[in-house]
Structure 1
């Protein structure tokens, strides 16, 4: 019995190390936040409309299948759940590579540590609040739950402006 427990714990450790290695190879473990975080030349700064919610998907240059799936599901959730609000300019979708110099400031601004979906509420050029939808990584295996989660968070943001 003891031997089996040791084998199972060894297998668990090996599985975790393998998963970490795969994520590291695909570039999903984090962003280079230590690189000079540039606040200058913020081409993707803030929306200019009176009041809106921006749904951001932040990614790096290297993108794995899971990262692309999270982006696709989140984008689809916003489009299908809030098509009229998108057309009216109340919601905006932005997919940004934070490894590009002009976008690096977002790593610090939103405390990013991996590929992320972030909602930000703006009044004019002033950001009022933001939220990292960190459950997207847990829910990416279930598109229905993922969609309900993202749409629920967007709805909450729209209602609490």
Structure 2
């Protein structure tokens, strides 16, 4: 009897393991989770022709073709942050923002390993490019002021302020 009980428990554990693996596989396939081998670290460094002049900061906002309110807010608040705090830098070209439909612009999505909507900050100076994910924006999309304050802190850090 003890043997049958142990076998039943082992079968349940094996079944749970199969379910967990199947769920994880589904999340990876859907693009919600990436495996370490699939995605570089948060900061990607690669050589580019960024020249030796002053650096640039570019916000890359990736979105789906069909957009929800939160996605629209995320982009709008990023633009408002630039308008409110970085007007001179935007006019000089030191800071910019691009809105990219990753479902339509597959080349750019592949270049930056994008599978879901989000914000990346790309900095380029001295022949080096750094790209960082900013997933924390989603914590602030329902509060414009908090979003703007947070993003300003992130951009200031990139600008060395």
The normalised TM-score by structure 1 is: 0.62
In structure 2, C-alpha distance between the alignment counterparts of 1:56 and 1:47, rounded to whole Å: 18
Matching residue within 116, 121, 124 for 1:122: 124
Structure 1 residues 83 and 139: CA distance shift in structure 2, 3 A: same
State which structure, 1 or 2, has the greater radius of gyration over its C-alpha atoms: 2
Deviation, 1:113, is 4.3
Corresponding position: 1:103 with 2:108: yes
The within-5 A match list for 1:1-80 is 50=53, 51-80=55-84
| 1:106-141 CA distance string (max 9 Å, x none) | 452xxx3421111111026631x2221111111111
The aligned length equals 115
SS of residue paired to 1:104:
helix
Q: Structure 1 residues 141 and 134, CA, compared in 2 at 3 Å: closer, same or farther?
A: same
CA distance in 1, matches of 2:62, 2:135: 12
How far off is 1:95 after superposition? 0.8
The structure-2 alpha-carbon separation of the partners of 1:105 and 1:113, relative to structure 1 and needing over 3 Å to count, comes to closer
Aligned structure 1 segments of 4 or more residues deviating by more than 4 angstroms = 46-49
CA RMSD of aligned residues (A): 2.5
Q: Mind listing any 5+ residue stretches in structure 2 that lack a counterpart?
A: 1-29, 35-47
User: 1:74·1:117 contact (CA, 8 Å) conserved in 2?
Assistant: no
The reply to whether residue 92 of structure 1 matches residue 96 of structure 2 is yes
Partner residue of 1:150? 151
